[in-house]
Amino acid sequence: MIQNLNEHQKEDLQEALAHGGQKVTPQREVVYAVLLAKRDHPTVDEVFQRARESMPGLSLATVYNCLETFVGCGLVRQVNHERESTRYCPNLAPHAHFRDESTGRVHDIELPDHVLTTLRSLLPSGFETEAIEISFHGHTKNSRNHTSN
């Protein structure tokens, strides 16, 4: 079901891992491939289920480990909504998330630079931002397909 990584993606993975002195492993490849295959912000458990289709022996702990490693490398982002299970996103462009309450689905919302600039300008002096998280929640009316991928 899940495609293997192409050369370009393999390179990205290898390079990102190398930064933190870490290596490519079969498990990491599978987990990364799962994230790229369907960019629907899966939970750890969803990643686990999908990854097991190509690697049945894979353990949940490893999925946690891989994802944590990727986040550390800046390869993927964690997405949290309230107290729900953490979801993962391989979209590296600056973007916000929209959580549809009816379906539970999470959609990427592109963020123009000027918005981030404006937001940073709201901070009192002395506040140094490392990251800004923006998340919407609501519903998506009709408008046929909002499929993430």
> Which of 3, 15, 19, 45 lies at the binding interface for DNA (CB under 7 A)?
45
**Which listed option, DNA, Zn ion, a second copy, none, makes contact with residue 117 (CB within 5 to 8 Å by class)?**
none
Q: Which residues bind a second copy (CB under 8 A)?
A: 78, 80, 82-83, 86, 96, 98, 101, 107, 109-112, 115, 118-119, 122-143, 146
Cα(3)–Cα(148) distance, integer angstroms? 18
Bridge partners, 89 (sequence order)? 77
Tokens of 124: 């009192």
Other CB atoms within 10 A of residue 79 CB: 19
Residue type, 88: Y
Q: Select the span of 51-59, 92-100, 104-112, 138-146 touching DNA (CB under 7 A).
A: 51-59
> Which of 1, 7, 61, 149 lies at the binding interface for DNA (CB under 7 A)?
61
Tokens of 15: 């390079």
The widest CA-to-CA distance across the chain, in whole angstroms, is: 52
Contact residues for DNA, defined by CB under 7 A: 22-23, 25-28, 43-45, 55, 57-62, 64-66, 68, 83, 85-86
